[in-house]
Chains A and B, each alone.
Chain A
Amino acid sequence: MRRYLVIALPYLWLLGLFLVPFLIVLKISLSDLNLSIPPYMPQLDPSAGWEGLKDFFSQLDFENFVFLTEDDLYWKAYLSSLKIAVVATLLTLCVGYPMAYGMARAPSEWRPTLMMLVILPFWTSFLIRVYSWMGILSNEGFLNQFLLWTGLISEPLVIMNTTTAVYIGIVYTYLPFMILPIYSALEKMDDSLLEAAEDLGCSRLQAFWLVTFPLSKSGIIAGCFLVLIPSIGEFVIPSLLGGSDTLMIGKVLWEEFFNNRDWPVASAVAVILLAILVIPIILFQRNEQKQREADG
């Protein structure tokens, strides 16, 4: 009995906090826009009984999904989000890998401190941190002031409200998610493997490519997915740091919901976004699984 309870608990959790909300969103995406509160119809009326239920289901249709395919704004936004997320993930990898490597190679008494420094930004609000990037990147911001002062540039750089600023924001925000899995993979590695590689004729660089890098691969994959998955649907960063030309699906979703108040179309956008995200999530899980098997 207790065992069933233990197994049932996480499922109940998933059911209540994931599946039920998802079904509600799915239902809205199949509904029609209506000037009422809430702004869609049909509404399920339990008092109408069996007939009411049949009536309710007959009014649901895929109209909104068809609409999404007709207006090229949407698929462009999906593609553009995907592109931005992929590029940002690769940039995060380029920044994060050397940091993780440096941490793993640091003397062991320093490592907890370095780890602390990586996690520290999480202690302040995400929103405040993104706002402070506005202060750094804007035309009169710290970065431009500094560069003007050093004389490297004579005109302020326009970074704020461009896609570049979005990249900076994503890399900054999600860097710890990249560093931590890579660090944990590198830290587990036995130094004598590198010695063995050198002993067998590798240069340091070869030893890195043939031993260190493959052994950190699972950390790299995990880190990339942990950055990629939330980046695709990212909304705050593009809307605060990005410009009008930064097209991301999270922003489109927001505008559909709150500017157009078209809940059904917004829900359809969200359902498709979820469907897109399921693929990398499954790949991520497979990677984790494989890693556990290799460790065990």
Chain B
Amino acid sequence: MPANGAPIFAPWDDPDAKPLIRFENVTKRFGDFTAIDNLTLDIYEREFFALLGPSGCGKTTMMRMLAGFETPTEGKIFVGGQDMGPIAPNQRPVNMMFQSYALFPHLSVYENIAFGLRRDGKPKDEIHHRVEEMLRMVRLQKFAKRKPHQISGGQRQRVALARSLAKEPKLLLLDEPLGALDAKLREDTQFELMDIQEKTGTTFVIVTHDQEEAMTVASRIAVMDEGKVMQVSTPDRIYEFPDNAYVADFIGDVNLIEGRSSAAIDETVQIEWAEGQQAITAQTQRPIAAGQKVFYAIRPEKVTISPDRPADAVNAAQGKILDIAYLGNLSTYHVQLPTGQVIKSQMANTRRISRRPYTWEDQVWVSWTKTGGSVLEG
């Protein structure tokens, strides 16, 4: 809860809130290939909505349907309550930044950015003002007169971004807007986008392959796979409470342990997962039946490593260190259990590397709490 007591922005939890965008059982097929499979999704005004998913899962297709370049094979798309079916792309309150940038090669950077503004018949000096503002934002003032083939890939990406932002649409679709930028510029632009969103109240739908980026900017994230939405939730819930093994595995690093669960008693289950290993005690709100096949997902940073079995540990297993990945501030230890299974544990490097307490082949204990992981239906 923010300090001033203002309500948290969460229209998706409000049953009365009207979504800005609604996908209603949308299916898109190319020939007999299904690119989007019965998708139902609400996106609310002022959201910063991120689409995450492997290459080819249908992210661009979804955006193209919103912008009006593809028509759904089945189902309907609503924007602001209006069925978009009969609305031509140039009539939609939507601007899209193309994954391929689609800059006009015969126009200069300046003219590319001014293109949409000119179509609206705005007065000349207003257009000039706006274009200058956009150029400043993406730091391309010096390149205003260049043609797209005379600038670098990252600069082209920024022109495409500026061009889509220039018209200040109600809804902006950004297909991998920052992929070609260096880390510093990317971070700056992320904040710039969040700032624009704050100021103008524009709704953003953004495709990204960068999970950290999605976590930073998004109000909610949709994780997609093969044309289906696997989970839609806030970044923290996606990370901490994944709905299924796919999402747990796709977002961040995770230990996935397959096993058979006992029936839930007091929201607590016992998961039998390997011969000779103590059952995992875990908390869950899911209604799990006795003997059901489940996945237990736990993040490496929630797994502690120690030389002896901690006295108070609910879940613990002994193994030997197989591998250590040094990441600067963190180290990830790969611990192999006698069953052959490898558990990853991530620990902060509070000491210098030369004084690291563990090394390869050391016998150690990994342990985690009852609430550390999630029980997922397999």
Contacts and interface: CB of A to CB of B under 8 A. Distances in A.
Interface string B57-96: 0000000000111000000000000000000111000111
A215 interface: yes
B119 A206 contact: yes
A214 B119 CA distance: 17
Interface string B85-117: 000111000111010101111100000000110
B100 A215 contact: no
A221 B149 CA distance: 22
A192 B97 CA distance: 11
- Interface residues of B: mostly helix, strand, loop or mixed? loop
A203 B90 contact: yes
B105 A215 contact: yes
Contact of A195 (B89, B94, B120, B147): B89
B205 to A, nearest CB: 14
A202 B102 CA distance: 15
Given A195-B69, A195-B89, A206-B119, A200 B102 contact: no
A200 B116 contact: yes
A198 B88 contact: yes
Contacts of B344: none
B167 interface: yes
Interface in B228-242: none
A71 interface: no
Say which size band chain A's interface belongs to.
Answer: 10 to 19
Given A198-B88, A201-B120, A202-B119, A193 B96 contact: no
Contacts of A200: 90, 95, 115-116, 119, 163, 167
Given A202-B119, A211-B106, 20 more contacts: A190-B100, A190-B102, A193-B102, A195-B67, A195-B89, A195-B98, A196-B96, A196-B98, A197-B115, A198-B68, A199-B67, A199-B69, A200-B90, A200-B119, A200-B167, A201-B116, A201-B119, A202-B90, A203-B90, A206-B119
Say which size band chain B's interface belongs to.
Answer: 20 to 34
A294 interface: yes
A85 B167 CA distance: 46
Interface string B127-148: 0000000000000000000010
Interface of A: 190, 192-193, 195-203, 206, 210-211, 214-215, 217, 294
A164 to B, nearest CB: 37
Contacts of A206: 119
B115 A199 contact: no
A196 B68 CA distance: 11
Given A198-B88, A200-B119, A214 B106 contact: yes
Contacts of B149: 294
Contact of B104 (A193, A198, A217): A193
Contact of B105 (A195, A197, A202, A294): A294
- Interface residues of A: mostly helix, strand, loop or mixed? helix
Contacts of A210: 115
A192 B96 CA distance: 11
Nearest to A201: B119
Interface in B155-188: 163, 167
A196 B106 contact: no
Contact of B102 (A195, A214, A217): A195
Contacts of A199: 67, 69, 89-90, 94-96
Contacts of B106: 211, 214-215, 217
A190 to B, nearest CB: 7
Nearest to A196: B102
26 contacts: A190-B100, A190-B102, A192-B100, A192-B102, A193-B104, A195-B102, A196-B96, A196-B163, A197-B115, A198-B68, A199-B67, A199-B89, A199-B90, A199-B95, A199-B96, A200-B115, A200-B119, A200-B163, A201-B167, A202-B90, A202-B119, A203-B90, A206-B119, A211-B106, A217-B106, A294-B149
B286 to A, nearest CB: 43
Contacts of B163: 196, 200
Nearest to B67: A199
Nearest to B173: A199
A107 to B, nearest CB: 13
A196 B90 contact: no
Contacts of A215: 105-106
B74 to A, nearest CB: 23
A198 B95 CA distance: 10
Nearest to A192: B102
A211 B147 CA distance: 14
B26 to A, nearest CB: 19
A211 to B, nearest CB: 6
Contacts of A193: 102, 104-105
Contacts of B94: 199
A194 to B, nearest CB: 9
A75 B115 CA distance: 48
Contact of B90 (A192, A198, A217, A294): A198
A215 B116 CA distance: 18
A214 B96 CA distance: 23
A48 B95 CA distance: 84
A206 to B, nearest CB: 7
A210 B114 CA distance: 13
Contacts of B115: 197, 200, 210
